[in-house]
Amino acid sequence: MADIALAPAAESPAQLRLARRLSAGARCAIPVALLLGIGFLAPLMAIFGYAFATPRSFDVFRSFTLENFATLFDPANTVWVSFVWSCGLALTTVAILAVVAYPIAYGLNVVFGRWSPFISVLFVFPLFVSENVRLYGWVLFYIKNGVLDGTLKWLGLSGGPEVLFTPGITLFGMVYTYLPFMLFPMTLGLALVPRDLIDAARDLGAGRLFIWREIELPLAMPGILIGMLLTFVLAIGATAEAKILGGQSIIVISHDIEIAFTYSQNWPLGSAMAVVVTFFIGGLTLFALSKLDLDRMLGRR
Amino acid sequence: MLQTLPAGAPGAETPAAPILQLVGVRKTFGGFTAVQGIDLDVREGEFLTIVGPSGSGKTTLLRMLAGMDTPSEGNITLHGELINDIPPNRRPTCLVFQSLALFPHKSVGENIAFPLKVKGVDAAARKARALELMRVVRLPEDYFDKNVMKCSGGERQRVALARAFAYDPEVLFFDEPLSALDYKLKKALEKELKDLHRETGKTFIYITHSLEEAMVMSDRIGVMRAGRLVQVGTPEEIYGAPVDRFVSEFVGEVNTIRVKREADGGWAGVDVPGRFTLAPPRDGTALDEAFVVVRPEFMRFLGPGDSADNRLEGIVYNEYSLGSRIQYQIRVDAGAAGEKVFLVELSRSRALPPGTDRAVTLGWDAADAFTLGS
């Protein structure tokens, strides 16, 4: 924009048109556009193509059939069970995380003071270790004669609870894995609440609970909702927790997709599943973002 | 709720007890003393302004009055009841913040009705009262549902004020709420605030670094410097009888001459040669060294045959138009110190013919100058 305004008047109309067609912003965006085109859009198109190919074939873009989708939506098939498990686990994870992360986010902003950066690092630190390695760590912790069970027995108590390879431990793993993704947007959201407003509300007679309900929560909501959306989208695609900690006691949708691509060698069915899940999450996200008017919530409009 | 002071404590049972009383109030943050030795009586219904440069402790003082900080020492009493440790939400006082602290996610009406919602007033009564207050602060009725962030600076001031009134406080505090506004709007709102003070009869305590603001609005002004209240008095007292050079300079431009007593009892200039006639110091103390402080508007130019208690010869170096008045910068030969600049302010009708570099004689009468010890 700026360089157009500063362009010398002598420039020909053709040059001006070119400059207007490719603004500075657009030119800066070329590298990322190329990367997204090749690395993101192209595979997505391939998956989309496979979803309409003849089942158990590799006839991508050469055949067209809706048979894969018909198989998916056939009630006799158990794919919907996996899908319900994924949604249910993701929703429960989000709900638990919202309750667990809020006090920590509040503490990071208001209570912990100069310890806040250190405590933040503690929550980020596990992200430096591969997720699978961390989950196997939990297996070692909970497994029979593992850290928990062994220690309790050594202390002369009856062994630890047999929680491994259950849906419950899958949920635990997901809450554990996605905590930072809820915590940091939430912390940011709470940081956006000016202290003046809390002081003013208190000065006008409001108690803590009233201030939380009327001022703090609504103003921190953008951060909270972004954290919820982020963790939901990540959690609905989670597989490792169900496989490693859950020991396949339940099958989640992304595990089904993986099986279709690997053991079953049925790429078209896997692609159809991927397309349905993608559209579901994409639609949900767009819906949430359209309802989530950030500018209004931040009081900018 | 409120603790009662033991009998015999200051301010407890006197007939014309002040509404708010501060005795020996001091506040320290770590090793830093922000405010100390504050003794102040605030009368019911008065408009008191605390002025001082930034860092003088006026905001700390206000935060203690509003309950957001607790004094390290001393007592703050409201109607004779000790309120040092009463939290802000249980004090019948309300602060209008410098930032105004309006709730950005609420409409104008919801902002104003907030204290009523806290008290559990039902929605219909809340709306009625909010609309009533909007009339008081001169906000149009159709602003009730307007997003508060879409309001102009002046409108936001009114919303903040109406919200404070909705709390129905006994004392209202203001922390420089007008400082972010442009000059013209500021002037208009200063007068409106003064009107509102009259109409509501509430006690207002206003904090500002602008003495001009304080002069326009206040019944009394307290001047703060380095954590202490240096002088408290009516605008006339502050302007006409400052206790020291700091107050005199804070209130407006001044010409200061350092003088010392001679063997014959007269006064001789230290930084300007010559002998001067001084009014006795206001507090009657005997001084050997003093400062003569003359406001530019009490200086005049002397023609041949004009007389004055004191006179100085100088050269017009510059002249500034202040609208209805003209200020002259006069350079006076100060001997070894080189030159000293004096300011003279005259109304336009009595101005000199335009032109600089002319030789003039300045004069002032002893009664128009202050003799200050520090």
Q: Which of B103, B118, B147 sits opposite A197 (nearest CB)?
A: B103
Within 8 A of B150 by CB-CB distance, chain A residues are 301
Tokens of B65: 């009055």
Within 8 A of A189 by CB-CB distance, chain B residues are none
Q: Does A295 touch chain B (CB under 8 A)?
A: no
Predicted confidence at residue B8, as pLDDT, reads: 40
Please tell me the least confidently modeled range out of A20-24, A138-142, A157-161, B330-334.
A20-24
Give B59-94 pLDDT, tens digit per residue: 999 999 999 999 999 999 999 999 999 999 999 999
Say if A11 falls within a structural domain.
no
Query: Of B217, B371, B165, whose CA–CA distance to B279 is shortest?
Result: B371
Q: Which of A202, A214, A298 sits opposite B88 (nearest CB)?
A: A202
Say if A224 falls within a structural domain.
yes
Q: Which of A203, A219, A297 sits opposite B89 (nearest CB)?
A: A203
Say if A276 falls within a structural domain.
yes
Q: Which of A199, A204, A299 sits opposite B118 (nearest CB)?
A: A204
Q: Closest approach of chain B CAs to the CA of A167, in angstroms?
A: 41
Say if A256 falls within a structural domain.
yes
Say if A160 falls within a structural domain.
yes
Q: How many domains does chain A have?
A: 1
Q: Closest approach of chain B CAs to the CA of A231, in angstroms?
A: 26
Q: Domain containing A108 — which CATH number?
A: 1.10.3720.10
Q: What are residue B49's DSSP bridge partners?
A: B206, B221
Q: Closest approach of chain A CAs to the CA of B154, in angstroms?
A: 18
Cα–Cα dist B200/B190, whole Å? 15
Task: Say if the Cβ atoms of A203 and B163 lie within 8 Å.
Answer: no
The dihedral region occupied by B80, where left means phi > 0, alpha psi between -120 and 50, and beta the remainder, is left
Tokens of B352: 């000199």
Predicted confidence at residue B7, as pLDDT, reads: 42
Q: What is the ipTM of this complex?
A: 0.79
Within 8 A of A197 by CB-CB distance, chain B residues are 101, 103
Tell me the pLDDT band of B251, cut-offs 50, 70 and 90.
Answer: confident
Give A118-135 pLDDT, tens digit per residue: 999 999 998 999 999 999
Query: Of B145, B139, B137, B163, whose CA–CA distance to B106 is shortest?
Result: B145
Say if A232 falls within a structural domain.
yes
Sheet holding B267-269, edge to edge: B275-276, B267-269, B255-261, B289-294, B370-372
**A79 three-state secondary structure:** helix
Tokens of B371: 């003799």
In the numeric block, the tokens 């009406």 are attached to B109
- Given a contact cutoff of 8 angstroms between Cβ atoms, the answer to whether A82 and A256 are in contact is yes
Average pLDDT (A187-200) is 93
Within 8 A of B103 by CB-CB distance, chain A residues are 197, 201, 214-215
Task: Say if the Cβ atoms of B114 and A201 lie within 8 Å.
Answer: yes
Average pLDDT, chain B: 88
Please tell me the least confidently modeled range out of A108-117, A291-300, B218-227, B280-289.
A291-300
Query: Of B25, B42, B104, whose CA–CA distance to B78 is shortest?
Result: B42
- Counting one residue from chain A and one from chain B, the pairs whose CB atoms sit within 8 A come to 66
Predicted confidence at residue A159, as pLDDT, reads: 78
Tokens of B97: 């913040």
Tell me the pLDDT band of B307, cut-offs 50, 70 and 90.
Answer: confident
Within 8 A of B95 by CB-CB distance, chain A residues are 200, 203
Cα–Cα dist A143/A145, whole Å? 6
Say if A260 falls within a structural domain.
yes
Give which of A192, A203, A214, A297 to mutate to test B binding, by max B Cβ within 10 Å.
A203
Domain span at residue A279?
A: 76-299
